[in-house]
Structure formats: C-alpha cells, structure tokens
Amino acid sequence: MTARKPTLAVVYDRGAVLPFEIARSLRPLAELVFVVPPSDHAQQASKVLRALGEVRALDDAMSGSRPDGVVTFSERMLGATSRLAADWGLPGHSSDVVELVTDKYAQRRRLAAAGVDPVRCHQLTRAGDWAAACDDVGLPAVLKPSHGEASRDTFLVHDRRTGADLVDQLLRRTPALVVEEYLSGRPAQGVGDYVSVESITSYAQTRHLAVTGKLPLVEPFRETGQFWPCQLSSDEQDEITALTGKALEALGITFGISHTEVKLTPHGPRIIEVNGRLGGHLADLALRSSNLDLVALAAKVALGENPRFESNAPTAVHFQHYSSGPADRVRVQSIPDGREVSALEGVDHYRTFVQPGSIVAGGTATNQLDFLAGHAPTHPEMLTILDQAIPLLTFEFTTDVK
C-alpha cells in the first residue's frame, strides 16, 4: 500500500524561490497548497501555481483542510506564515521570532542584550531625532528602514547634513528608520568583505550548512554575487558559524531555514543581520555545487521532520553574478548578447530579467537585471572568468520614462 503524501502549504510571493524550483524540489515530497496574497506578483504567478497544486487566497487559507506543514520563501510573507502555523498548530517561526527577524532595530537590541554582538544603533521615527542618533551611534553610519529587504533605501552616511536630508525623505514613505554603527570590513582581494551562513533548525537544534562567499558590493549596499565554497579557512568558518549559532539562539529560532549575513572586520566577524528564510539564489548554488536541496530541507522541517541529509563536498568553485540596475528610473534600450557571455569557458548559464523596453524602477535596492552562473577550479580562476564576463554584461538605458 502506497503511503499518503503529506500536504504542504507554501505561502507564496516574490522571494528566494521561483515556482519551477518549488515544483522540482517539493512535488516529490508533498501535495502542494499555495496560499497567495493579493499582490501583483502572486496573482500573476497563480496560473503557473495552479498547474502545480491547489491555490488558496490568503484570506481564505483556513477554509480548506489543514495541511501537515506550512513554509514560505518570501520575506514579506513571514508574518502571514507564522500566523497560519499558529492557527493550524504546525511548526514554524513564532510571532516573536518574526518580529525579531524582520524588525532590524528589535533584532539589534536583542543581539546586544544577549551579549552576541553589541552594534550601536538608534531608532528614528521623527526627523528631529537625527542629531541624537548621530551623537549615539557616530559617523559614518548606516541608515535604513526598520523593515525591508534587498538593501532597499539603505545608505552609508558620512555627514550630518546629508543624513538629515535622507531622514526627512525616507520618513515620508516609511514609519521608522534605524541608524547603525558602520562595520568597516577588512581588505579583500577581488571578493566581498562579508559572507553569509546558511543554517537549518529543527526542534531547536541548528546545523550550519555552508558559509557562502560573496562578491564585492556596489554602492551603497547592493549585492553582485556569491559562491560556494567560500575562500576562508576552516578555523575562520568555525568562528563565524559559532557566532551565527549564538545569534539564532538569542533570537529564539527553533524551526526553519535561516540566512545570516556576517561582516569580516579586522577585529573578527560581526553580525550584519539574521534573516528567517532562505537567501536569494542559494537554492541554485547549493544544488549545483553540493547536490544539496535547501528548498526540500526547509519543507521537511516545516513538516515536522529533523531531516538527515548528505551533501557532496564541492569539487570546484561554483559562483553566481548579477548586475544591478541604476539608481534612477530608466527604460532599457539594449541588453547583453547572451550567446557571447555563455560561450566563455566556465560560464554554465546566463539569463536576463529585463528586455528592451522594460522599465527599471531605480533606487538603492539590489534590483537584478540578469543572472550568471559558472564554475572554476579555484577562487583565482573564478575571478579571471568574471573579469572576462563582466565587460560583456552591458545594458543601455534611456531616462526618457513616462
């Protein structure tokens, strides 16, 4: 007799995992129920999602049968997923955990109170608080919304006048800001001065899956790529994962996958932020480099398992690169010749996310125009391939946008 597949609710919106990745990883494990909010992205994806499983509107999620687990890969759906898990009596982030992984000020205060990482920070809800924040935190400082993703509206502020202008602008569209001590990274040759740690937690037991190397940021804090394995020694990775474990424990994370960004400073690793979900593009990177299915692991934890897993040690450096759009709102005039960059040795795949005529919204967020995946025998050879590929990734824009 064939065992019944469990039912898994996937609360879907724009996030780290695309519908085809969900289908590849989760359909063998469970019958899928997609819970979708009324956002434009989720509504546009609903036609594809209906081919993969049942689709329920978020407001009507409780009307159907109770699933065996619930998971999300979207930052903006963490709160809704937590509420559904509580209502259904299923494993997941508590409401307190969701507040701590989505409210940057609350997270900083908790990590400091627990003695994990006492980064100076100050919350702003009024423009008149800026002077006090400067006195408290010092300059340069990082200014960003208390809630947000993809480095949206995140700035490095060097002087009080510029900061005051930014605070005034940002408080018109967000209710609260955080001013944080700027963590200065140590010199890095061709790679970023930060990493991320990918972890899985089940029944309060955490296992760190990998330390992800990063390519250098572009101003102000936009990501350009990542790679497995990272370039760090095993001793330094152990130091980084130990710090991450303390952070996850301090935040009360007992279930789920997490993505923790860590700055590499001259004085040791420091927490940038802890995210209570899978990081962007990591599902692809883990599968290609180590045959490790992070999407399936997250689902198994959501279904109440304490999953065992094996991953292959990478035999090469697998990397990703993405181009960020300009800060201004623009229209795309031309895109790179994908055939030319794909023909380079070591480039496995290249695709663009925009076409001629597309409107790019602009801003400071990591607004990706394309995606390149590749591999190389060593880290220096990875950088050589990128030195060849990046000049070919030329986009042309016009500011004539109505």
Q: How far is the C-alpha of 81 from the C-alpha of 76, rounded, in Å?
A: 10
Nearest to 318 by CA among 210, 237, 156: 210
The domain of 380 spans: 316-402
Task: Kindly report the CATH number assigned to the domain that includes residue 357.
Answer: 3.90.1170.50
Flag whether 221 is in a domain: yes
Question: Is residue 307 domain-shared with residue 324, that is, in the same domain?
Answer: no
- The residue out of 90, 108, 142 marking a domain boundary is 90
Domain assignment present for 115: no
- Based on the fold, state whether residues 176 and 210 are members of the same structural domain: no
Q: Are residues 307 and 250 in the same domain?
A: yes
Residues in the chain: 402
Residues 241 and 124 in one domain: no
228 with 308, same domain: the answer is yes
191 & 306 share domain: yes
Residues 192 and 132 in one domain: no
Please give the order of strands across the beta sheet that includes 155-157: 121-124, 177-181, 141-145, 155-157
**What is each CA distance from 273 to 103, 248, 326, in whole angstroms?**
10, 11, 25
In a domain, residue 74? The reply is yes
Report yes or no on 25 lying in a domain: yes
In a shared domain, residues 237 and 343? no
Helix (H) or strand (E) holding 205: strand 205-214
In this predicted model, what pLDDT tens digit does every residue of 56-75 receive, in sequence order?
A: 999 999 988 999 999 999 99
Reading the chain (402 residues) residue by residue, the pLDDT tens digits are 467 899 999 999 999 999 999 999 999 999 999 999 999 999 999 999 999 999 999 999 998 899 999 999 999 999 999 999 999 999 999 999 999 999 999 999 999 999 999 999 999 999 999 999 999 999 999 999 999 876 688 999 999 999 999 999 999 999 999 999 999 999 999 999 999 999 999 999 999 999 999 999 998 888 999 999 999 999 999 999 999 999 999 999 999 999 999 999 999 999 999 999 999 999 999 999 999 999 999 999 999 999 988 777 889 999 999 998 888 889 999 999 999 999 999 999 999 999 999 999 877 556 799 999 999 999 999 999 999 999 999 999 998 876
Q: Are residues 175 and 227 in the same domain?
A: no
DSSP state of 314: P
CB 82 within 8 A of CB 98: yes
Is 97 among the domain residues?
no
Q: Over the stretch 185-226, which tens digit does the pLDDT of each residue have? A: 999 999 999 999 999 999 999 999 999 999 999 988 889 999
For residue 388, how many other CB atoms are within 10 A of its CB?
14
Q: Is residue 110 part of a domain?
A: no
Q: What CATH number is given to the structural domain containing 289?
A: 3.30.470.20
| 3-state class (DSSP) for residue 99 | helix
CATH number, residue 176: 3.30.1490.20
In a shared domain, residues 174 and 269:
no
Residues 341 and 360 in one domain: yes
Domain count, the chain: 4
